[in-house]
Amino acid sequence: MSLLTSGVYRAGFVNSLEVSLEASIIPGVIGLVVAYALASVRHPVVQRVVASASAVLANFGGVNLAFIFIAAYGTTGLTTQWLSDLGFNPWNHGFSLFNFAGIVFIYCYFQIPLMVLVVTPALAGLKSQWREAAEGLGAGAFTYWRRVGLPVLAPAILGAVLLLFGSAFSAYATAEALTSGSVALAPILIGNFLNGNVVAGQEHVGYAISVGMMIILLVTTVFYVLAQRRSQKWLRS
């Protein structure tokens, strides 16, 4: 147990939690804005196209996604070259795909569509009668969202963010292919043990890290289920 609370193993859990928080909050906010814009359009064709694209992008990850981002945003990537031609090279201003921020950046690619998929039904469940009743009582848009809209949507939004957190926390292939294990994350540490990179006397550390991840994901899942139940209670009323 002392090994897990010190050195690279502790850093792995801390880094995984930080990456997961950033890769859930940032895509959560962006995805919520996109989902709200999509719900406001109310055009069936646009909604179907965005929903289909989100479903595809949300399930596209792993090694292929890492290679695509390297080809697009690497030091000699296509997008990097275009920006360099315009006089701005992001790599000269601290940007990198192969560090903590790069992992969060690439995770946003599939986390934002996932947020759109999960939170769109909740936005669609907001009844127009609620807004009409609020307006009839003299409430403006701000008051409606503060007193009605956001309290009703809060459980669904919280559940969606928890889902994004669990998705980012358990992701392995993308981060491993992107950084070659140079960034200490809990899934990468487990992968190192499974690949035989074991120090004498630490053969069971990989299993201990796995148990730690399972506990965190179990707690996340419990809160996600509770948030979903609360959300369904409001939206079915």
pLDDT digits over 33-56, tens only? 999 888 888 778 888 888 888 888
Tens of pLDDT, residues 201-224: 566 777 788 888 899 999 999 999
137 located within any domain: yes
For residue 60, name the pLDDT band (cuts at 50, 70, 90). confident
Boundaries of domain holding 12 = 7-236
Single out the residue of 27, 207, 188, 40 nearest to residue 117, CA to CA.
27
Q: What's the confidence (pLDDT) of residue 179?
A: 82
For residue 22, name the pLDDT band (cuts at 50, 70, 90). very high
Structure tokens of 65? 């996604």
Percentage of the residues of the chain whose pLDDT score is greater than 90:
28
198 located within any domain: yes
CB contact at 8 A, 213 and 171: no
205 located within any domain: yes
Q: How many domains does the chain have?
A: 1
Residue 148 DSSP symbol: I
163 located within any domain: yes
37 located within any domain: yes
SS3 at position 4: coil
Q: How far apart are CA 127 and CA 173, in angstroms?
A: 41
User: Domain holding 148: CATH number?
Assistant: 1.10.3720.10
Measured CA angle at 207 (ends 209, 213), to 5 deg: 35
**7-41 and 186-194 are packed helices; what angle lies between their axes, rounded to 10 degrees?**
120
Q: Give whole-number Cα distances, 118 to 22, 24, 161, 163, in Å.
A: 18, 13, 9, 9
2 located within any domain: no
1 located within any domain: no
Range with the lowest mean pLDDT among 9-18, 82-91, 176-185, 213-222?
176-185
195 located within any domain: yes
Q: What's the confidence (pLDDT) of residue 43?
A: 78
Predicted model pTM: 0.86
